[in-house]
Amino acid sequence: MGMVRRLRLVSFSLLLALFGSPAWSLADSLNADAASPPTLATPLNGATIDSLSTRLSWANPQGTTQLQVQLIPYNNDGPGMDVYFGMPVSGLTLPAPPQWYGMLPDMGYTWRVRTSNAPGSLALDHPSWSGWAQATFRTPKASTAGVALTAPAPSALGVAQPAVLQWSGPQEYFYYEVQLSSDPTFNTDPATASAAVYWVLVHGGMTVPANSYTLPAGASLQPETTYYWRVRPRVQGDGVPATWPAASSFATAPGGPLVGPPVFGTTASGGCSPASRDTQSQAMIPYGAQMLYARFDYTGSGPVRWAWYREGGQLTTWSDLSLSGPKGCGMVGVSNASGPLPSGAYRLDITFNQRLLQTRTVIIQ
């Protein structure tokens, strides 16, 4: 029984290089005559098919023993097909995605078939092959009507990085263009653009989750910034690009480190751990302490500023403390060289880029 090779989602030129056949003997080569080409039936030459799936059919000349079928995208711009049949089949169904990611919308394709009446498998340049019978067809136009932007939700706030964009669309579409920018007009003219535009091609059938794009770590978004994004099916070759649909937007989360609530103590040991503190309320210190420390855990990195207040009045000047990620602990303190700290309510404020990260009060009594 003859051998059927499966369809491959690789370029047409690569398929030609990969497909081969067992060698034909010299004696058979000398006695071989070229076969007659087949008669192509469907799709009709020049037709526009109604989906990204179609059946190629043809009539083989009498005595056909094997044949070769090729599907060639316009200007070789996209995936193609090259398949050998070791039997006289008269049709081949090209399945739609996700069974086969083989055709793009609004694109011209050439399909062709040649046959041989030789009794054994042939090399591709064997003289017993017929000439090619070929025809063209076009895939249906692309539309953004069925494409929906699903995540982040429209106008979402506090989106963490790395941002993951996700959308849904008709099952036949698998190749998409994605744009993302802080500019709602997505202007890409170098002379007038006000912001970078990420413009990428995504094979939605190969991403996890499906139909998604995760921004690379090296292309992080700015914190506390509104971004706009949109998606359309990819059209290439001799097709006309689909119009972009309305964009969706989201705002990124604040940047910089995240700081946990301070824990207070009167002495420091072990790097940044107050050795003495009220373990129940963590908010009261007995009178008599000459120094007051605040320890806090953090994640992320960046320079933070801190200042102490007593009874509502600022006790220390604002000072800088550089936190190095991905996580760690920090400690700041206040002291009185001449004796115990006065009783009262002491408050610590910690900020990043003028945004308050933590504020907490401890009572000395």
Residues 236-277: tens digit of each pLDDT: 999 999 999 999 999 998 788 889 889 888 877 656 665 444
Q: Work out the average pLDDT over 131-152.
A: 96
Q: In sequence order, what are the beta bridge partners of 258?
A: 299
Ranges of each domain in the chain: 10-138, 148-252, 258-364
* Sign for the pseudo-dihedral over CA of 210, 212, 214, 219: positive
| Fold of domain 258-364 | Immunoglobulin-like (2.60.40)
Q: Could you tell me which residues come within 8 angstroms of residue 3 by beta carbon, excluding any fewer than 6 positions away?
A: 84, 86, 121
Distance in angstroms (rounded) separating the CA atoms of residues 133 and 153: 51
Pairing of strands 355-364, 344-352: antiparallel
DSSP3 helix / strand / coil % (the chain, rounded to 5): 5, 45, 50
* Sign for the pseudo-dihedral over CA of 100, 101, 106, 108: negative
Residue 141 amino acid letter: K
Residues 352-362: tens digit of each pLDDT: 988 899 999 99
Per CATH, 10-138 and 148-252 having the same topology is answered yes
Residues 41-62: tens digit of each pLDDT: 999 999 999 999 999 999 999 9
Q: Is the pTM of this model over 0.75?
A: no
| Fold of domain 10-138 | Immunoglobulin-like (2.60.40)
For the 148-252 domain, the top CATH level (class) is mainly beta
The region of weakest confidence among 2-6, 20-24, 127-131 is: 2-6
The region of weakest confidence among 2-16, 166-180, 184-198, 203-217 is: 2-16
The region of weakest confidence among 99-103, 119-123, 246-250 is: 119-123
pLDDT band at 219 (very low <50, low <70, confident <90, very high): confident
